[in-house]
Amino acid sequence: MIKVFGVTKKYPARLAVDDVSFEVARGEIVGFLGPNGAGKTTTMRMLTGYLPMTSGRIEVAGYDICEDPQEVRRRIGYLPESCPLYPEMRVDEYLRFRAELKGVRLSARKAKINEVKEQCGLTDVGSRIIGQLSKGYRQRVGLADSLVHDPDLLILDEPTVGLDPYQIRQVRELIQQLAKRHTILLSTHILPEVEAICERILIINEGKIVASDTEANLHRRLHACAMIEMEIQAGKVVAMAAINTMEGLDVRTATELDDGWLRLEIEADSSDMRVELFNLAVTEGWPLRELSEQEYSLEDTFVQITRNPGAMQ
C-alpha cells in the first residue's frame, strides 16, 4: 500500500527527514512512533502530498505521489494532529461539502455521509454547529471527513490528542473497527494505543528509521537476556555469592527491604532459569515470596531505542 524509497526533506536550517525508506502492506495497522522533532509529522505530510520531498520517491497503492498526485489523494484519508474544520458549519453541511470536494458521486453522497456518521458516532449531531461540539466530537467529525470518500489508506496523526480517557477509549475502539476495511498508519504519543491496536511498529529518530518490526520482536531483539525478579529472606552477601556462581545468572541489583526481605534483580540467559533459582531457594532454606520475569513495555523499548541509536544494530 505504501512504498517509501530514500525520502529526504531539507529545510534551510536543518535536515528534517534523512533518506527514509519503509513499506506498509495492504491491510496492515502500523504504529509510527518518534520523539518530538524526530520527523514523524513531516514524513506523514509528505505521504499525503501536503509537503513536497527534497528527494526520494513515494508510492501509494501503486501510484507515484509526484506523477499521479490526484490518484494518490483519492486513496488516502488523512486526519492531521490539528484537524482543520469549519466551526461555523453544521456537521451534515460540512460533510456534504467535503464529499463534493473529494469527488463522491452525487447519487452516492447521502448514503456515504450517513455511513460515516454512523461509523463515527455522529448520527445524533448532524444538525449541530461544529464549533459548539466537544473536542471529542470534533475529532470524530475530522475522522468522518477522512473516511467519506472510502479511501484505501488512513493516515492518522495523534487522533486522540487532547481527549479525556473515555473519549480516547471510544476513538481507539473506532480505529479498531476501521482497521477491518482500511490500511492504517497511526502516529501517537500514547503508547498503550499502539500496543492495543498496531500489528507492526516503525520508529523514527533524528530523521531516520531506527526500528521496524512487531512489538514482540523488538522486545526480543533489544532484551536478549531475561531479567528475573526474586524476593527471599537471606543475607545479601551470601545470596549474591550463591547465585553468581551459577552459570547463566548474574545478580544486577540486591536491595534489602524494610520488612526484612531481600529483593534481587537477576539477569539470566533464559526465563526458564527461574526453575534453578527456585531449587536453589529450597536447597538453601530461603523463604521465597516472589520469582517472576520482568515484563518490558513498549515505553521501555521505545526509550531505549531512541536514546541509543545503535541499539537495534
Residue of 287, 277, 292, 282 whose CA lies nearest to 244: 277
Segment 210-225 mean pLDDT:
80
Q: Which superfamily is assigned to 2-220 in CATH? A: P-loop containing nucleotide triphosphate hydrolases (3.40.50.300)
CA distances 44 to 80, 128, 177, Å, are 9, 31, 22
Domain ranges of the chain: 2-220, 224-295
Residue 107 phi/psi, 5° resolution? -65, -25
> CA torsion sign, 51 to 56 to 62 to 63?
positive
CA dihedral 59, 2, 304, 263 (to 10 degrees): 180
Model-level pTM?
0.79
Answer yes or no: are the C-beta atoms of 99 and 190 closer than 8 Å.
no
Listed ranges 105-114, 182-191, 263-272; the one with the highest mean pLDDT: 105-114
Which tens digit of pLDDT belongs to each residue from 39-70?
A: 999 999 999 998 999 999 999 999 999 999 99
Question: Which amino acid type is present at position 5?
Answer: F
* pLDDT of the residue at 306: 86
Residue of higher predicted confidence among 300 and 243: 243
* pLDDT of the residue at 180: 84
Residues above pLDDT 70, as percent of the chain: 98
First to last CA, the chain: 27
pLDDT at 309 over 70: no
**C-alpha neighbours within 13 Å on the C-beta side of residue 240:** 13
Which cell numbers in the block locate residue 43? 514524513
Chain centre distance of CA 111: 32
| Confidence band of 258 (pLDDT split at 50, 70, 90) | very high
The CATH class, in words, for 224-295 is: alpha beta
Segment 180-209 mean pLDDT:
89
Segment 206-229 mean pLDDT:
84
CA distance 162 to 279: 51
When the pLDDT of each residue in the chain is averaged and rounded to a whole number, the result is: 90
Which tens digit of pLDDT belongs to each residue from 121-134?
A: 899 999 999 999 98
Segment 259-287 mean pLDDT:
93
Question: Which amino acid type is present at position 274?
Answer: R
Residues above pLDDT 90, as percent of the chain: 66
Which tens digit of pLDDT belongs to each residue from 81-138?
A: 888 899 999 999 999 999 999 999 999 999 999 999 998 889 999 999 999 998 888 9
| Confidence band of 223 (pLDDT split at 50, 70, 90) | low
Burial of 4 (0-12, 13-18, 19+ CB in 10 A): buried
CA distance 57 to 5: 5
CA distance 280 to 78: 57
Question: Which amino acid type is present at position 307?
Answer: R
CA distance 238 to 235: 5
| Confidence band of 290 (pLDDT split at 50, 70, 90) | very high
* Three-state DSSP state, 123: helix
* Three-state DSSP state, 105: coil
pLDDT at 313 over 70: no
Burial of 107 (0-12, 13-18, 19+ CB in 10 A): exposed
| Confidence band of 304 (pLDDT split at 50, 70, 90) | confident
